[in-house]
Amino acid sequence: MHAERSENDSVLVGGRGGLGHLTLNRPRAINALDLDMIRALHLTLDRWESDTDVDVVLLDGAGERGFCAGGDVRALHEMVTGGRVDEVHAFFREEYALDHRIATSKKPVVAIADGVCMGGGIGLAGHAAIRIVTERSRLAMPETRIGFTPDVGGSWLLGRAPGRIGEYLALTGGTMDASDALYAGFADHMVPVAHLEALYAALENRADPSSPTELVLLFDETPEPSRFETAREWIDDAFSAADVPGILDRLRARPETEARETAELLAASAPTALAVTLEAVRRARELPSLRAALAQEYGLVLWFAFTQPDLVEGIRAQVVDKDRSPSWSPARLEDLPADRVAEAFAYRPEPALW
């Protein structure tokens, strides 16, 4: 198989020896996903599904800063503020279809979540058959920081993290290193950056042992214990409360400095995003499949995009104007309408996801 490129060069396509290699190629934007990239990835994966020359798919990102910083939220901001409803629908529908495609691929997908891997990057790497992190990996679902909610199947992963780690990560948007990602179930192996080239060569050459997992294990190293192992006590205690005000009360009552700092972070976050996200993770924990979680998320993200001012305001404050001073609506948890969460989950977008 020879190297080739997608039409806009934002996805590099190549590989050899039975290995199909896809590289996200917007390094200046830490490979943030736009619709053209999503379509290029999906098209190639569809083609390779029936290609007998391809046995394994390798997915990585160009540059040293990271695998993928997430979806292109600046473009999303422009779509929403410009009233381009059909484009918003198309972006999320096609992104989620790609995430599900990776999860259900007959050809195992090996994802290298080196460096930054957040939001939409988790959607790509988090559902791969073999999920690899490195010593410089930084994973997160930081959507609440822009007045939004974790999507791309993030709620499915968060709902299956140990204890209440999922609620903690979802509400805080906290960053995981390699140890944390392995502990929380967002990754399977830690391979040092120095070994990645050798791993790529092994996947191409397919020497014995021949399965991708066996090959990865040749380069896998055990990282230091995750900070979650010692933080589980206060995280599980606080984040098992019935609602966000209850979580805040418990955090403030804890002796740990980190618990009280977490309370301060949540108190400044978007009340709507926190309340909806808490319910989303808990509902996802009971859902039967990734597909069901994606369908739930699809309704929520469009509810945020089309009915709530917080998403546009959050992107403005964090990405567009970068003043880091969002004005949430409402600004205080005590002012959140009692039916706000129920309203979010009752929203039925047209067209539906599947």
Q: Does the pLDDT value for residue 2 go beyond 50?
A: no
Q: Average model confidence (pLDDT) for the chain?
A: 95
Convert the pLDDT of each residue in 199-241 to its tens digit. Answer: 999 999 875 556 899 999 999 999 999 999 999 999 999 999 9
Please give the pLDDT value at position 3: 47
* Beta-bridge mates of residue 1: none
Convert the pLDDT of each residue in 297-333 to its tens digit. Answer: 999 999 999 999 999 999 999 999 999 999 999 999 9
Task: Identify whether the C-beta of residue 144 lies closer than 8 Å to the C-beta of residue 167.
Answer: no
Task: Identify whether the C-beta of residue 179 lies closer than 8 Å to the C-beta of residue 115.
Answer: no
Q: Is the dihedral of CA 163, 101, 179, 55 positive or negative?
A: positive
| Residue 112 DSSP class | E
297 is catalytic: no
Per the residue annotation, which of 119, 120, 147, 153 is the catalytic one? 120
Q: Does the pLDDT value for residue 1 go beyond 50?
A: no
143 is catalytic: yes
9 is catalytic: no
Closest CA to 106 of 155, 167, 162, 47: 47
- Mean pLDDT over 164-187 rounds to 98
Per the residue annotation, which of 72, 114, 151, 310 is the catalytic one? 151
Per the residue annotation, which of 34, 60, 95, 143 is the catalytic one? 143
151 is catalytic: yes
Whether omega before 337 lies within 30 degrees of 0, making that bond cis, reads: no
Instruction: List CB contacts of 10: < 8 A, sequence separation 6 or more.
Output: 24, 25, 26, 34, 36, 37, 40
- Structure tokens of 3? 């190297």
Convert the pLDDT of each residue in 16-75 to its tens digit. Answer: 889 999 999 999 999 999 999 999 999 999 999 999 999 999 999 999 999 999 999 999
Q: Which domains occur in the chain, in start order?
A: 4-140+178-217 (3.90.226.10), 228-346 (no CATH)
- Mean pLDDT over 103-129 rounds to 98
pLDDT, greater one: 259 or 205: 259
- Mean pLDDT over 139-146 rounds to 98
How much of the chain, in percent, has pLDDT values that exceed 70?
97
Whole-model pTM above 0.85? yes
Q: In whole angstroms, what is the distance from residue 104 CA to residue 178 CA?
A: 24
Per the residue annotation, which of 61, 63, 66, 71 is the catalytic one? 71
Q: Does the pLDDT value for residue 336 go beyond 60?
A: yes
- Structure tokens of 222? 């055990």
Strands, E, within the chain: which ranges?
4-5, 11-14, 19-24, 56-61, 66-68, 109-113, 116-118, 130-133, 138-140, 189-190
Convert the pLDDT of each residue in 87-100 to its tens digit. Answer: 999 999 999 999 99
How much of the chain, in percent, has pLDDT values that exceed 90?
93
Task: Identify whether the C-beta of residue 220 lies closer than 8 Å to the C-beta of residue 137.
Answer: no
